Structure 1
């Protein structure tokens, strides 16, 4: 399956005292590095958020407008960056038919991505697959969605008031989505230092 990836890394981290989640470390890698690893099969990847250090070559960057406008606005910014990326010499830049949307604060998300791909490949006609946690919660920021459908809904949202602080569930409401149960723990995220401690996540990487 061909897909691009939109990695969301632009929240305020208010319950972490403003410490960016993307720079927290788990098992020797930052959460942003782990999110990019989870999206390793992507044809192109864009990180939406403030400037990041150490991104691998070819990784695109974008910023939601205005900054901290929420994940729905960040998804729109990521889609725009993917659509506007330069083409390789002698070819036209085209977005992949599917887009992985992934928040950077789920250290075990990689365990879910393969499941989403498998279920979506076996379900022609679906417009996407959304992760369902072991306790039954929907996680829209770990999902694989039709690029055309996302672009359609982003355009509709702009026509009806925009996406600043808009609901991601609202953005996705009209898509025909598969609810996909994913491995236990793969949707666990970091909102507080208590969450970080429970997951064994360390503070930001120290630089000399």
Structure 2
């Protein structure tokens, strides 16, 4: 994106980070892994943290979010993992919540968004103990830093849930931004040089 932080891009009057936090509105606590200057108002349940080292990739960001939530005693059974570059992700989150409600207590599910044959692991509800163990296992192998989400989730039993078309469309290039109606230069002036990470929310 030419050095422009994706989370500060503006879609329909909100920064992408604002939209991601809003999509996780049902969470008891939300951990934002990355800079938060594009949030004009910080909800009282919001935590700020960073992966170590900075820019160590999405698996390390998820681990940082889990640690931040654990530090305040958050013990929700599920964690919503949500990247901040999907402006329509609230639709996908709603579909995943519905799928969770249909799962049984005897067979709890990890659920991940999918459009057609394209899974999107950065929109998913994962059982907190399983995801925490996966992070620790990856760290023990020295593979957490710069590790992929695919490797992090490799040993989890994950159910794919079909979500509304376009709800996991992400912004990786200016062409992606243009396709979603985000014009070049239409970014938040509140965040000129910041860089982003994953948005992680603990959900009850």
Match of 1:105 in 2: 85
> Quick one: distance in 2 between partners of 1:52 and 1:205?
9
TM-score by length of 2: 0.86
Match of 1:178 in 2: 159
Match of 1:80 in 2: 67
> Quick one: distance in 1 between partners of 2:136 and 2:91?
32
The answer to whether 1:17 aligns with 2:6 is: no
Give unmatched runs, 5+ long, in structure 1: 1-15, 86-92
> Quick one: distance in 2 between partners of 1:61 and 1:181?
31
CA contact (8 A) 1:127 1:149 kept: no
CA contact (8 A) 2:56 2:146 kept: yes
Where in structure 1 do 4 or more consecutive aligned residues deviate above 6 Å? Answer: none
> Quick one: distance in 2 between partners of 1:163 and 1:127?
24
- Which of 2, 5, 15 lines up with 1:30 in the alignment? 15
Over the aligned positions, Cα root-mean-square deviation in angstroms equals 1.3
Shift of 1:126: 3.6
Q: Secondary structure at the match of 2:117?
A: coil
Match of 1:204 in 2: 187
- Which of 128, 146, 161 lines up with 1:165 in the alignment? 146
- Which of 138, 141, 151 lines up with 2:122 in the alignment? 141
Match of 2:42 in 1: 56
Q: Secondary structure at the match of 1:101?
A: strand
CA contact (8 A) 1:96 1:147 kept: yes
Q: Which has the higher contact order (CA 8 A, sep 6+)?
A: 2
TM-score by length of 1: 0.84
Give unmatched runs, 5+ long, in structure 2: 191-204
> How many corresponding residue pairs?
184
